[in-house]
Amino acid sequence: MTINDPNTNLIEAMKEKLPAKGKLADILMDTLYIGKEAVYRRLRGEVPFTLQEAALVSRKLGISLDKIIGTSFKSNAMFDINIVDYDDPFESYYNILYKYASLINTMQDDPESTMGTSSNIIPQTFYLKYDLLAKFRFFKWMYQNKYIQCNNFDELEIPVKLLNIQKDYVDMTRHIHSIDYIWDSMIFQHLINDIQYFSDVHLISDEAKMQIKEELFLLTDELEELAMRGKTKDGNTVRIYVSHINFEATYSYVETNSLQLSLIRIYSINSLTTLDHEIFHSLKEWIQSLKKFSTLISESGEMQRIHFFKQQREIIDTL
């Protein structure tokens, strides 16, 4: 790709995403609201794409504008900072989850869609369906944030709108056809430590703590059943690994025929995301490399699977 012709770079990037010329033309007509001949004049380079058109195409096809203008990915990358707004935390968190759910929903017709994650906490794709576990994660973030006053778990009321989008987000993940989960062996212990701390300082009532404990047991049963099957109820492949080394952070990637998205968890419930091609391949390679330090417990590894979930139940029981 050249570094001095943004229009040519955009055309090449679009053709990389959608090699089929007819399909690309159809998407451009729908996205830019222009006729077929106008589309082909742009694809032939006779008429340049306007900045507004480039932005619309970039958003639709997941093409980084940096790539179009020829910025070197070895030294620069564009990230979205998906941080919950202090002034309106519920609405901004809703918008972030809505964006993710909408993105994953587009994968239902893509048999090549994949996701990989290396987690040192229980992934959102699991805990968000449990009201109290999801509430605790949000409460911890709010309490730690000096700009938000939230002094007791029991007093925090999560809007119904947010509860619904959390469940929609989890439900949308069934469209992903292949998922690799690599878990830190301390994945439950970290959460139990947090819950116990807030209980010890009387910010969570004993009754709420017991209810969270019940949800954790339900979650453990769900995860063990998923590991035994190695497939979701929709028949999509799930591989679960338990790492023998600890992770310093949670990294994830999502890949489809037209998208390569990288996510890095920050500040408990927030994330950095990027469509940078080089970052994606580096992060995916890093996540996949962790398999050599891990044990596969989905479908195979029966003894290790039984031992792992027995250990997690014992950890939960300490609450």
Quick one: which of 75, 63, 90, 86 has its CA closest to 9? 63
> pLDDT averaged over the chain?
83
Would the pLDDT of 190 be above 70? yes
The per-residue pLDDT for range 11-59, each reduced to its tens digit, is 888 887 776 667 888 888 888 889 889 889 888 888 888 888 888 888 7
pTM confidence score:
0.72
| Average pLDDT of the residues in 76-84 | 55
Q: How confident is the model at residue 113 (pLDDT cuts 50, 70, 90)?
A: confident
The sign of the dihedral angle between the CA atoms of 151, 153, 155, 157 is: positive
Geometric angle at alpha carbon 144, from 138 and 145, rounded to 5°: 90
The pLDDT of residue 10 is 84
Query: In this predicted structure, which of 50-59, 160-169, 195-204, 295-304 has the lowest mean pLDDT?
Result: 50-59
224-258 pLDDT, tens digit per residue, is 999 999 998 888 899 999 999 888 788 889 888 77
| 36 or 92: which leads in pLDDT | 36
Q: How far apart are CA 237 and CA 306, in angstroms?
A: 20
Residue 155 in this model has a pLDDT that exceeds 60: yes
> Domain residues of the chain, as ranges?
6-68, 80-316
pLDDT, tens digit, 9 for 90 and up, residues 282-309: 999 999 999 999 999 997 888 999 999 9
